[in-house]
Each structure stands twice: as structure tokens, then as C-alpha cells.
Chains A and B, each alone.
Chain A
Amino acid sequence: MIRRILIANRGEIAVRIIRTAQALGIETVLAVSKADRESLGARMADRALCIGPARPSESYLRVETIVQAALGAGCDAIHPGYGFLSERAALAQMCEDEGVIFIGPTAAQIEAVGDKLRARAEAIAADVPVVPGGPVESPAEAQTLAAQIGAPLLIKAVGGGGGRGMKLVERLEDLAATMDMASAEAGAAFGDARVYLERYVAQGRHVEVQVLGDGRGTVIHLGERDCSVQRRYQKLVEETPAPHLPEAIRAQMHEAAVRFAARLDYRGAGTVEFLYDVARNQFYFLEMNARIQVEHPVTEMVTGVDLVAEQIAIANGEGLRLKQADVRIDGAAIEARINAEDPARDFMPSPGTVAAARWPEGDGIRVDTHIVDGASIPPFYDSMIAKVIAHGPDRDAALSRLKGALGETRIEGVSTNLAFQADILADPDFAHGGVDTGFLARRAER
């Protein structure tokens, strides 16, 4: 039985995990850097342990320090949150070796989905559609494959991700030169010069499926999330259900995600990401995220399932407490990420001290944040400071509630993207629903 959890994360997700742990009667120990000692999470946890200096490489990213902190504080489990060490097989492995429960998948599963080429091979083996393309080792191989895929196409770094390490080839005659550059850059940036080619989808939507697996081959899904509103590959608005997605595609995606995770005997909460090719009405596997995701609350709002509680139950060996038939989608939910950044200055991060914060309340409104009056936003970490989520009986109701909620939100002392987010929600294309990932870039050009 898990009695005491070490939370190896910070910010809003640390607070989020502490809340569920407290509701379950589980003690929490929060690992904090020197910069986060006074954070809301540090005050809420039963104990906060300073694990190192502010810089993540000297604190939140230190596998040995995290495991030592868990052992030294008598924790039986570690929750890694998202980002930081959540998808480092080394942490899961050290937990396995030391007899500490890792609240997440096995080290082997993290490795299987962490390598893009391997994940793609797993998808093919699970009969999950992938974007036409593949790995290339020589210029000759690249030419042959490129001719099959057709232009435009993308050259992607095997070690990249989140939009990093990608190059667009619009004409096949540019392939050789672009590939040399992509490979050299990948080697320098990721320590791995391997690249692969992929069909470029001009109009695509990012749709992902939330899954839960018991680690023994049983997997259920909790619907999908549309995360197409992205700025430079950073998600800004996420929602469920994905609007105007053909029902047949939606069902096929759910089934494909379950097949993919089941084949790995996936354990815990995970997300299978797909690219929906609007013009071709096809979807392709992108990757699997082996962790709880930032945007998980929209799923929780429509299903009523506490995903962190399910993660803990699975880690505890209780298996899946829900059957697929128990999962009901009630209405729609939309989330807006609030970042401490200045849209007027090219979205420069805006760290500092929050003089005052007023968060919205009301029917169907949820706010996940660690920001209270006087909270400090250190410059060392991600600029996301809150997620405002609205739920309603349908998308229009959720959208209208979210607009009202953002209107009520006040954050003083730092710049935020609140007004930028309000503009997105007011956009007629967004209001109609089903925008593609190029939506924000096109808006910026207008």
C-alpha cells in the first residue's frame, strides 16, 4: 500500500497531485529546489525537501537525488508529474531497483515509446496507422523513399520532439542539401544524428487519446482531446471532445490507441497522440506520452474520473477500477493555459513576483494553479502558471463559461497571455471548432 509519496515536480502539477493524495489519505513529500521552497506546493505537502539549487539540472533532473530523497524520507512511491524526469527510463529503473513504486509505466515501456523509431515500429506492429515515411541512412535511400512519399515532406531528428529538430522539404530536388543540414543539426542538438522522412500534412489536427492500462494487457480509453491550438508547437488551448471529427474516425482513434498501449502491456496513464489529416480524412500515430499530461483536466471534467487517483491505484496494484463501459463522456470541456509571458514582446517569459492573483470560480470552472498572492515565478522553469478549465453540457456552454472565467481572472505583477487567450476564444474559426494546427500562425499573419 502506498502511504507516502515523494512528488518529484513543481508548480501547478505538484499542487494537483498533493490534492488527490490528501483526498486519499496519503502523505506527501515534495522535492523542491531552492527557488521553490516557499511555493504553494511546499506549504501544502506534509514535508518539503530541498533537493538542490534552482537550476533544474542540479535539482529536478537529478535521478539519484530524487530517489535518495524518497528513501531518506521514508516514501514508498514517487510521482514524477510531467516534464522533468517523468519520461526518463533511468528514474523508473532506479525505483524498480530500490523497491520504490514508480507511479507510471515500467522503465522498459518508457524506453519503448521514448525512441521515435521504436514507437513507430510498435505502432505498425499494433496495426495503428503511421505517417508514410521511415528512417533513412544514406542519401540514395532518402531519394527512393522521398519519391514514394511525395513532396512536401519533413525531415525529423530521431532524438527531437516538441517541434524541435524538424525541417520541411517543399521540392524533392532540395532533399539532399536539407538532409545534410538536418543530420548535422540533430547530431549537435540531440547527440543523435539519425533522421527520418515523413509525409508533410498541410492541414492537420492534433488529436490525442487518453488511456489507462493495468500493466497486464488490459487498456481502456477515456476519450480524446483536441490540442490543435498551438503556437510554435506549444499547446495553448485543449478540449474534449474533438469538435466536428467524423464519428468513424473518432472511434477508430480510440481503438487504435487502446491497441497500441495494450500491445506494450502499458501500465498507468498515458496518451497516444495522432495527427488527423483533414484533407485525406485519415489519422496517423505521432507518439505516446508515458505520463500524466498538462491537459488531463479536460478529460477529468467530462468523465468524472480523477486520473491521478487512477495512476496511484494502478501503481498500488489495484488494476483498473473502471471498465470501458463505465467511461461516459458528459458534455464538453475546454482548457486555456495561462503563461507568464508577454505576447507584445514575442512571448518573452515574464518571471517575477505576483502581487495579486484572482482566479475565477463558478459552475463548471476549475483552476489548476500554484499561484497565490505574493507567489514567485522563478526564471528557471516553464512559464505556465495556471490552467483554467471550463465544463458545460455542450461545447458552446463550455466556451461561454471559459470566456467568462478568463474575464474574471486578474494577475498583477507579471505579464501573462490572458488577453491573447481571450482573443483566441473569441475567434470565429475557434468558436466554430475544429481548427487545424496552422490556426495560430495564420492568425499572427493577419
Chain B
Amino acid sequence: MSLTARDVEEIMKLLEASTFDRLALEVDGMKLELERGGGGTARPRPARSAAPAAAASPPPAAAPKPRASTEAGLLEVRSPLLGIFYRAPKPGEPPFVEVGSKVAPDTVIGIVEVMKLMNSVPAGVSGEVVEILGRNGELAEHDELLLLVRPEAG
């Protein structure tokens, strides 16, 4: 059995109607990878390995990004929940904050999605964003470091 163009069209429709963003299929040595959306803010998700588990498969997903700033006295903004972290309110829209943005405790800095429930993440601190560690569209753990903020002088 092999996939015809028609089969691929059918599969695309199935993906379109499903809640999934990505589909990887392997049939008789033919590999099909579909991704929903395109354009706008990409939502890269860790790809499931199509190779048998015995083969050297990638780690079950990226580990949290290590902080680069060595500056002392920076304030941390951590993820209150485990979920998918988004930097912007919607794909294609500008991020809530960028490096250099000023934040107050109630400034929303991102969204954490838990099973389609969107939870806004307030900064909780005041100052200027100096580093963004949370990766858009990826799984953030509870308590994972998302932002570093330089407190306001004074």
C-alpha cells in the first residue's frame, strides 16, 4: 500500500478537523509530515520520533534554556503553571514584551495554555526586561524561568 495524492488530501482534512497542529505519518517507507497554520507565529512542538525507540531518538523535548545574563540583582519571572508558553496574545500579533520593555507587577508577559485554557502570566515585579528565556510555543514547566527583569533604580 502507498499513499495517493487523494489519500494525502484526506489526511490533511482530518488534521484540519482535529485539535492537533502537527502530524507525522510513515507508511511503507514513505514519510508524510503535515503542520497546521503556517504563517504568523510558528508553534514548533517537539517532533515525535518516527524511528523505533531503540534507535538514538532525541531527548523527550528541549530542556529549559539556561540563563545567559550574569548581571547580579536581576529579578526572575517564572511560569506559574506547566503548559505551552506563548509570548503573544495570538499568532501573528506582537509579543507582550520584548527585551527593553518596562513591566509592572500586573503587566502580562505571556500566556500559559493548559489543555486549551489560556492563563495570563503577570510579571509580578517592576523593571526592564533584559532577557527572555521562555520559548514561544513550547512546553514550560511549573516554576520554569521565563524572563529576567532589571529592577528600577531607586
A: residues with CB less than 8 A from B are 3-4, 25-27, 29, 34, 46-47, 49-53, 59, 64-65, 67-69, 72-76, 94, 98-99
CA A34 to CA B141, docked complex, whole Å:
10
Contact present for B115 and A64 (CB under 8 Å): yes
**B53 contacts which of A27, A29, A59 (Cβ < 8 Å)?**
A27
Chain A hits for B49, CB < 8 A = 3, 74
Contact: A50 with B115, CB < 8 Å? no
Please give, as numbers and ranges, the residues of chain A lying within 8 Å of B2 by CB-CB distance: none
In the complex, which residues of chain A have a beta carbon less than 8 angstroms from the beta carbon of B101? Answer: none
Stretch at the interface among B68-76, B80-88, B123-131: B80-88
* B143 lies within 8 A of chain A by Cβ: yes
Interface residues of B (CB under 8 A from A): 19-20, 45-49, 52-54, 57, 59-61, 63, 81-84, 113-115, 117, 138-139, 141-144
Partner of B144, one of A29, A46, A50: A50
C-alpha spacing A76/B46, complex, angstroms: 13
Contact, CB under 8 Å: B84 / A74: no
Please tell me if the beta carbons of A27 and B60 are within 8 angstroms of each other in the complex: yes
Please tell me if the beta carbons of A64 and B117 are within 8 angstroms of each other in the complex: yes
Q: Which residues of A contact B84 (CB under 8 A)?
A: 68, 72
How many angstroms between the C-alpha atoms of A75 and B60 in the bound complex?
A: 8
Q: How far is the CA of A20 from the CA of B25 in the complex (A)?
A: 27
B60 touches A74 (CB 8 A): yes
Which of A34, A49, A53 is packed against the most chain B CB atoms within 10 Å?
A49
Complex Cα spacing A76 to B57, Å: 15
CB-CB under 8 A from A69, the residues of chain B are: 82, 139
Residues of chain A with a CB closer than 8 A to B115's CB: 64, 67-68, 94
- Chain B residue numbers with a CB within 8 Å of A74 are 45-49, 60-61
Scoring B54, B61, B117, B141 by chain A CB atoms within 10 A of each residue's CB, the highest score goes to: B141
A3 touches B48 (CB 8 A): yes
Closest to B85 in A: A72
Is there an interface contact between B82 and A4, defined as CB atoms closer than 8 Å? no
Would you mind naming 28 contact pairs between A and B with Cβ atoms under 8 Å apart?
A3-B48, A3-B49, A3-B57, A4-B53, A25-B52, A25-B53, A27-B60, A47-B60, A49-B82, A49-B141, A50-B82, A50-B141, A52-B82, A53-B142, A59-B142, A65-B83, A65-B114, A68-B82, A68-B84, A68-B113, A69-B139, A72-B46, A72-B82, A73-B139, A74-B45, A74-B49, A94-B115, A98-B19
Q: Name the distance in Å between B126's Cβ and chain A's nearest Cβ.
A: 25
The minimal Cβ–Cβ distance linking B20 to chain A, given in whole angstroms, is 8
Known A-B contacts A29-B60, A64-B117; A52 and B142 likewise in contact (beta carbons under 8 Å): yes
Question: In the bound complex, do residue A50 and residue B142 qualify as a contact, i.e. CB atoms below 8 Å apart?
Answer: yes
Given contacts A25-B53, A47-B63, A52-B81, 12 further A-B pairs with CB under 8 A are A4-B60, A27-B53, A27-B57, A34-B142, A47-B59, A64-B115, A68-B114, A72-B139, A73-B139, A74-B47, A74-B49, A99-B20
Q: Is the CB of A49 within 8 A of B81?
A: no
If over half of B's interface residues share one DSSP class (helix, strand or loop), that class is named, otherwise mixed; here it is loop
CB-CB < 8 A to A59: which residues of B? Answer: 142
**Within the assembled complex, what's the spacing in Å between the Cα atoms of A419 and B52?**
48
Q: In the complex where A64-B115, A68-B83, A72-B84 touch, is A51 in contact with B46 (Cβ < 8 A)?
A: no
User: A419: shortest Cβ distance to chain B, in Å?
Assistant: 39
Identify which of A4, A27, A49 contacts B139 (C-beta below 8 A).
A49
User: Could you tell me if A65 and B82 are in contact, using CB atoms closer than 8 angstroms?
Assistant: yes
Residues of B near A53 (CB, < 8 A) are: 142
- Nearest B residue to A67 by beta-carbon distance? B115
Shortest A162–chain B CB gap in Å is 29
Q: A50–B53 contact, CB under 8 A?
A: no
Cβ distance B83 to chain A, nearest Cβ, rounded Å: 6
**B contact residues around A72 at 8 Å (CB):** 45-46, 61, 82-84, 138-139
In whole angstroms, what is the CA distance A19 to B47 when docked? Answer: 25
Q: Which residues of the partner chain A approach B59 to less than 8 Å between Cβ atoms?
A: 46-47
Contacts of A99 in B (CB 8 A): 20
From residue B117, how far is it (CB to closest CB) to chain A in Å? 7
Q: Which residues of A contact B20 (CB under 8 A)?
A: 99
Residue of B nearest to A6 (CB): B60
Min CB gap A87→B, angstroms: 20
Contacts of B138 in A (CB 8 A): 72
Min distance, Cβ B14 to any Cβ of chain A, angstroms = 12
A27 to B61, CA, bound (A): 12
Which residues on A sit within 8 Å (CB–CB) of B52?
3, 25
CB distance from A7 to the nearest CB of B (A): 12
A309, B117: Cα distance in complex, Å: 34
Q: State A291–B131 Cα separation when bound (angstroms).
A: 45
Q: Once bound together, how far apart are the Cα atoms of A51 and B46, in whole Å?
A: 18
Residues of B within 8 A of A34 (CB): 142-143
Residue in B closest to A69 when the chains form the complex, CB atoms: B82
Given A4-B53, A64-B115, A68-B115, does the pair A73, B60 have CB atoms closer than 8 Å?
Answer: yes
Q: How far does the alpha carbon of A98 sit from the alpha carbon of B52 in the complex, in Å?
A: 23
Residues of A within 8 A of B61 (CB): 47, 72-74
* Contact call A50/B46, Cβ cutoff below 8 A: no
